[in-house]
């Protein structure tokens, strides 16, 4: 893209961003999702994405997820790395998926403030409507329906988007084991997630 401002989307961990991002003082909006819903979403994505390795069954996938043996590494390292970078860098806005699902208008106001934008009420309503999960699920620009490596017979790219869907996948023992591991890995951070709203 040669126009300005440019928009770049990435799933990279913070340490993989080129130095130029920090030197140019780029504004960065990072969106994090709670680990349990993220694991479920990632599992279904790997099932339908023919480029990713075969995810195997849910128990083995969940174990690999907790061990950080994923394409972009550990979820724990990813979210904590960006969180730590944000503490010293005012050019990073750290958003939570759960907050977006709970109150898109409030989070849109935060994004606009961060970017120095003001919207008319009409523009604001249009954005809120356009970024809603159901609208994005129907939009071929966001639902990946035109990408041939996605097998929609297995699962849609945009499946549910619900906070708390992990409860439909985790067994009681998986949840208990996951919580123990989560506590260990998230002990030394101020970062907090909600697994339901």
Residues designated catalytic: 11
Instruction: Name residue, tokens 């994405």.
Output: 49
Query: What is the length of the chain?
Result: 197
Question: What does residue 159 show for φ and ψ, rounded to 5 degrees?
Answer: -85, -70
- Strands, DSSP E only, in 63-135? 92-96
Question: Could you tell me the sign of the dihedral formed by the alpha carbons of 169, 186, 197, 95, in that order?
Answer: negative
How far is Cα of residue 29 from the mean position of the Cα atoms in its chain? 11
- CA dist 177 to 37, 63, 97, Å? 16, 10, 24
Instruction: Name residue, tokens 């249009």.
Output: 126
């Amino acid at each position: 893209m040669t126009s300005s401002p440019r928009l770049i989307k990435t799933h990279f961990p913070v340490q993989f961003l080129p130095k130029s991002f920090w030197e140019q003082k780029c504004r960065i909006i990072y969106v994090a999702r709670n680990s349990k819903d993220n694991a479920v979403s990632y599992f279904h994505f790997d099932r339908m994405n023919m480029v990713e390795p075969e995810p195997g069954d849910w128990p083995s996938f969940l174990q690999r997820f907790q061990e950080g043996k994923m394409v972009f590494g550990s979820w724990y390292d990813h979210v904590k790395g960006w969180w730590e970078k944000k503490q010293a860098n005012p050019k990073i806005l750290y958003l939570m998926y759960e907050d977006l699902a709970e109150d898109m208008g409030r989070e849109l106001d935060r994004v606009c403030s961060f970017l120095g934008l003001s919207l008319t009420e009409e523009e604001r309503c249009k954005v809120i409507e356009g970024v809603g999960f159901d609208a994005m699920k129907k939009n071929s620009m966001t639902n990946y329906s035109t990408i041939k490596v996605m097998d929609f017979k297995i699962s849609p790219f945009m499946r549910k988007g619900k906070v708390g869907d992990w409860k439909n996948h985790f067994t009681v023992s998986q949840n208990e084991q996951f919580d123990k591991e989560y506590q260990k890995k998230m002990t030394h951070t101020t970062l907090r997630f909600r697994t339901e709203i």
